[in-house]
A and B are shown apart, each in its own frame.
Chain A
Amino acid sequence: MAKGKILVVDDEIYIVHILDFSLGMEGYEVLTALDGEQAIEKARSEHPDLIVLDIMMPKLDGYETCKILKAGDDTKSIPVILLSAKGRNVDQKIGFEVGADDYITKPFSPRKLVERINALLGQSSPQRLQA
């Protein structure tokens, strides 16, 4: 039985692969998307427990995607971790303004990301069960 469903969104295929692997090792079910539009589609159809979202992506960037997710009734309660090479304070600030629950700067350690995800889901799981 999977610990939860996680949607990984990044246009860098290698990043998607390594997250798929490390989260899979941890016992999560992993869904993947290569851009914002795909991400929104999958979030609506698959109802993941958490979304890891890259910012600089084609078509729809991470900020916009996050905004749309947080505005949708069926997706607004899904925690979003922004994962980005944009490391300035202002980028993080925008990230939280669009509703992100956490912000992790690239380069990142997949193991630390897994810890953060465990922590976030540990906190939000009871709420999500109610919802």
Chain B
Amino acid sequence: MKKKRATPRRANAAETRLRAELDQTRRERDAQIAKLSADRERIHALYLLEVEENRKRADKLHRILENTGRINSELDPGALLQRLAETVATTLGFRIVLIRVREPGTSRLRACAFSGIEGPARAALQRTDLALEEFLSFLREEFKISESYFISHTQDFNKRLPPGYKPDLGPRAAGEWHEDDVLLVPLFNRSGELVAYFSLDDPVDRRVPTRDAIELLEIFGNHAVVAIENARLYAQLEARTHELEDAGRRMQEIQVLKNNFLSSVSHELRTPVSAIRAYVDMLSGVCAGSIDPERLQRFIAVVDEESQRLARLIESLLDLNRHDAGLIRPSYQEVDLGALVDESLELLTPIAQTGQIALKVTGRAADTRVDADRDQLRQLVLHLGSNAVKFTPAGGTVTFHLEGDDRDVTLQVEDTGIGIPEDELEKIFERFYQVDASLERRFGGTGLGLSICKSIVEWHGGSVLAESRPGSGSRFTVRLPRRHESGEGAGVAEESSASPTERRAEPEAHQAGR
């Protein structure tokens, strides 16, 4: 009986134990299920988060690429840089963007484009270039993230801060942007030269940028380099095209000048020839016998005079050509300009007396010694003098005024003549230019005198200036450097140019080449 009773009791206990174990197992299973499902949810959430992150990143990338398309089509360098700055600001989320660009061939970085920087700050940036070495010294290994440099405010490195400045860190969350942080994105071209850099501040999300964000910036940066270089090449191409166009235009102008010159030359040469031929025709004609001896003499005198004029004209032309070609080499010596004025006065006095014109010299006491070619200088003084006398009516005065300082000797020839209209002043040194051609011819001039004067003065490294008030007279001012530095500038003249110093140097360069 006992056995019988004991058996069920034992059975009961076993059952209870089994149940308990079962419960336990069930609970554990439930817990595991719950944990698994929680895990799954967590993983799912993480997954969603990542998808969202990636989507955002893709979005950003997309926007960048969209912008690069537009940027690559921008060919004006200035506009391009501004667009780059704005794109960085809007697409990549920085309120303050500065782009400094290296001027090609220099080591200066110039502030070229801005976003979020206005007024005096902007002006100050534009004023001051940054030296390349200084910028490169910012790019320390410890700041480097990807290919960019995040310079944290915790670095006492920041040069913008006054000495002893302790940034106020405040109760900021980890990774929060500080106003003294800065992110530099240097842009290198394929040959490894720095082209430009972005300096970024004040991110919209107030966070220190992640490596991802920086990499995005760099992708954009790479496109920017290409765009900047393209724009530069395009600008160069444009400049070259303009240069070529300008050169073409100059060639045409020169052609026109040459044609005008030639037609003037031929007219001026033909005029005395016409007279000579006409008189010779009369002298040799059937009527020659009926010309009275006195008239005959006059005709012969005209032929003689006109042939002399022709010879003078040809001489002047050849002179000018020799000047132009640098064939006349001045022989420099100490010349007293004042003494040359005295000499010229002797020659001019008879003509001046005939025309009832007074000749005056002022400033004769000045030291007017100058290194010059004596013959050429005499030609210059004589021409300016006779020119003044020619265009001065009876009763007028021609004044020679001399001056000299340490550097220059100056001669002014002033008349009380008919003057030169203002719009013609620039042209009077042109060949065959005369306000009134016949007047000049009637006075036996060649129309080349003033342009020869100009050549002579420029050749001596000096300058000549014409001033005038029509009706009350003209004044020619010649300034000659006291000393002629023969060696100076000889090597500089590579291109022929109208500039006096270069023109002066030209003959020396020619000689060096011989």
Q: Closest approach, in angstroms, between the C-beta of A56 and any C-beta of chain B? A: 6
Interface residues on B, range: 20 to 34
Is the pair A58, B274 in contact by a Cβ cutoff of 8 Å? no
Choose, from B279-287, B351-359, B397-405, B406-414, the stretch at the interface.
Answer: B279-287
B439 contact from A58, A86, A110, Cβ within 8 A? A58
Is the pair B437, A21 in contact by a Cβ cutoff of 8 Å? no
A15 contact from B267, B275, B285, B290, Cβ within 8 A? B275
- Chain B residues contacting A108 (CB-CB under 8 Å) are 274, 277-278
CA distance A56 to B267 in the complex (A): 9
- Chain A residues contacting B439 (CB-CB under 8 Å) are 58
Is the pair B438, A25 in contact by a Cβ cutoff of 8 Å? no
Choose, from A6-14, A43-51, A94-102, A123-131, the stretch at the interface.
Answer: A6-14
Interface residues on A, range: 20 to 34
Is the pair A18, B279 in contact by a Cβ cutoff of 8 Å? yes
Is the pair A85, B274 in contact by a Cβ cutoff of 8 Å? yes
Is the pair A107, B278 in contact by a Cβ cutoff of 8 Å? yes
Within 8 A of B (CB), among A69-108: 85-86, 106-108
The residue in chain B whose Cβ has the minimal distance to the Cβ of A26 is: B287
The residue in chain A whose Cβ has the minimal distance to the Cβ of B275 is: A14
Contact with B along A11-29 (1 / 0, CB 8 A): 1111101110110010000
- Chain B residues contacting A25 (CB-CB under 8 Å) are 287, 290
For the complex of A and B, the 9 pairs showing the least CB-CB separation, nearest first, are A107-B277, A11-B438, A106-B274, A85-B270, A107-B274, A14-B275, A109-B281, A58-B438, A18-B278
Known: A12-B275, A58-B437. 10 other contacts (CB 8 A): A12-B271, A14-B279, A18-B275, A21-B282, A57-B438, A58-B438, A106-B270, A107-B274, A109-B281, A111-B287
Residues of A bordering B, CB below 8 Å: 11-15, 17-19, 21-22, 25, 34-35, 56-58, 85-86, 106-111
Residues of B bordering A, CB below 8 Å: 266-267, 270-271, 273-279, 281-282, 285-287, 290, 295, 299, 302, 306, 436-439, 441-442
30 residue pairs from A and B, CB less than 8 Å apart:
A11-B437, A11-B438, A11-B442, A12-B271, A13-B442, A14-B278, A14-B279, A14-B302, A18-B279, A18-B282, A18-B299, A18-B302, A19-B278, A21-B282, A21-B295, A35-B438, A56-B267, A57-B438, A58-B437, A85-B267, A85-B270, A106-B274, A107-B273, A107-B277, A107-B278, A108-B277, A109-B278, A109-B281, A111-B281, A111-B286
